[in-house]
Amino acid sequence: MDQVPPVVVITGPTASGKSAVAVELALMMQGEIVSADSMMVYRGMDIGTAKPTISDMKGIPHHMTDILSPDQDFSVASYKEQAVSLITEILNRGRLPVLAGGTGLYIKALVRGIVYSPAAVCPDIRERLKAESQDLGDELMHRRLVGIDPESAVRLHVNDRKRVLRALEVYLSTGITQTEHDRRSQKDPGPFHYRVFGLRTDRARLYDRINKRVDDMMRSGLLQEVIQLRNQGYLQPGTTAAQAIGYKELVRYLDGNGSLNDAVEQIKMQTRRYAKRQMTWFNHMEEVEWLDVQAMDDARTIARNIQKELHSSSRKV
C-alpha cells in the first residue's frame, strides 16, 4: 500500500488539555499546529476562547488563529480549504502537521474528506425568515426547525439564530432538509492519512476543570475583553462571534440582564453542556482513538504516549 503523509489530530471536549498536548507533541516530533477551533479564528477573542499565549506556544508555529475580525463569518468549506493548504505546506517543509481543537465539523470535514456544496436558497425566503425571527424570537424558530429537520435541531442551540435560519431556508428553498443535503455532500478522501486521538477523562473531573477555567478567565480579564470588543463595534446580534460561549452571556449582562455572578454561572453551565455535546459528537466518529488521560495528567506524558503509538503503528506498516 502506498504511504500517504501523516496528519495527527488532537481532539476532545473543551478544557481537556488539547492545546498543551499538541504543543508538547509538536516539540517532540518537529511539528506545527493547525487550530481546529471555530472561535480561535477571530482576532481579539483571546481569553474567552482559551487561545494559546506566546508563552503557551513554546516557539511552535500556530496556524488558523487570528485570521478574521469578529464581524466576519467563516464556513466549514473555507476552513477545510485553508487547512488543507496549510497541511500541504507544513509537510513540504518536512514537518508534522498537528491539528488541535474541538470543532467537530472542522475535524469531520478534513478526516472524512467532506466537500460542502452550499444549497441554493431563495433571497426572499431568507429575508422573510429574518423578519419572522425578529417578531417571533429564537425559541419559536428553533421549534419550527424541530418539526422540519429534527436532526439539525438537536445539533443546533436554540440561540444559534444564524444556523437555525440557514437550516430553515435550505428546506424552504429546496424541499430538502439540511441534514439530507449534508448526507448527499460529495466526499473526497484527500491525500493525507489522519490519526485522530481523543482526550477523555472522568465527567466530574472535566466539569471541575471547566468551572475553574471560567473563573481563571474572569480573573484574566474576560469581561474587559468583551467590553473592548463591543466598544469596537463587534459582537453584534446575528454574527457567529456573538454566539461564542462566554461572550454572549457577558453581553447579556452588559445589556442589563442579570448580575455578573449569574452570567458567570451561565458560562460554566453552557460550557459544560457544550463539552457533553462534543463527547457525543466524537463518540460517533469511529476514527477517534481515545486516550484516558486521567492517569497521566501532564501534557508531556500524554504527548509521549501518542508519539509511542505513532511510532509503533509506523513499524507495523
* Segment 210-266, tens digit of pLDDT: 999 999 999 999 999 999 999 999 999 878 899 899 999 999 999 999 999 999 999
Neighbouring C-alpha atoms within 13 Å toward the C-beta of 145:
31
Phi, psi of 199 (to 5 degrees): -95, 125
Q: In the chain, which ranges are continuous DSSP H helix?
A: 18-29, 54-57, 76-92, 104-111, 123-136, 138-148, 150-155, 161-174, 178-184, 203-220, 222-231, 247-254, 260-283, 299-316
Are both 6-116+186-316 and 123-184 of the same fold? no
Under a CB-based contact definition with an 8 Å cutoff, are residues 40 and 116 in contact?
no
pLDDT tens-digit readout, 116-141: 665 666 777 888 898 889 889 999 99
Q: In CATH, what is the architecture of 6-116+186-316?
A: 3-Layer(aba) Sandwich (3.40)
Which of helix, strand or coil describes residue 114? strand
Domain boundaries, the chain: 6-116+186-316, 123-184
Contact 49, 19 (CB under 8 A): no
* Cell numbers that stand for 39 in this block: 472561535
Output the pLDDT for position 317: 47
Q: Kindly state the cell numbers that stand for 306.
A: 501518542
The Cα–Cα gap between 186 and 188 comes to: 7
Q: At what angle do helices 260-283 and 247-254 cross, to 10 degrees?
A: 160
Residue keyed to cell 504516549: 305
Sign of CA dihedral 23, 26, 27, 32: negative
Query: 219 CB contacts (<8 Å, ≥6 apart)?
Result: none
Using an 8 Å Cβ cutoff, are 151 and 176 in contact?
A: no
Q: Which fold has domain 123-184?
A: Histone, subunit A (1.10.20)
Q: Are 20 and 297 in contact (CB under 8 A)?
A: no
pTM of the model: 0.84
pLDDT in tens, the chain (317 residues): 346 678 999 999 999 999 999 999 999 999 999 999 999 999 999 999 999 999 999 999 999 999 999 999 888 888 999 999 999 999 999 999 999 999 998 999 999 888 766 566 677 788 889 888 988 999 999 999 999 999 999 989 888 888 899 899 888 888 889 888 877 776 776 789 999 999 999 999 999 999 999 999 999 999 999 999 999 999 998 788 998 999 999 999 999 999 999 999 999 999 999 999 999 999 999 999 999 998 777 999 999 999 999 988 765 54
Phi/psi of residue 187, nearest 5 degrees: -120, 135
User: What pLDDT, on a 0 to 100 scale, did the predictor assign at position 120?
Assistant: 65
pLDDT at 33: 98
The answer to whether residues 42 and 64 touch, using CB atoms and an 8 Å cutoff, is: no
Kindly tell me the burial class for residue 248, based on how many C-beta atoms sit within 10 Å of its own C-beta (0-12, 13-18, 19 or more): buried
Quick one: pLDDT at residue 118? Answer: 59
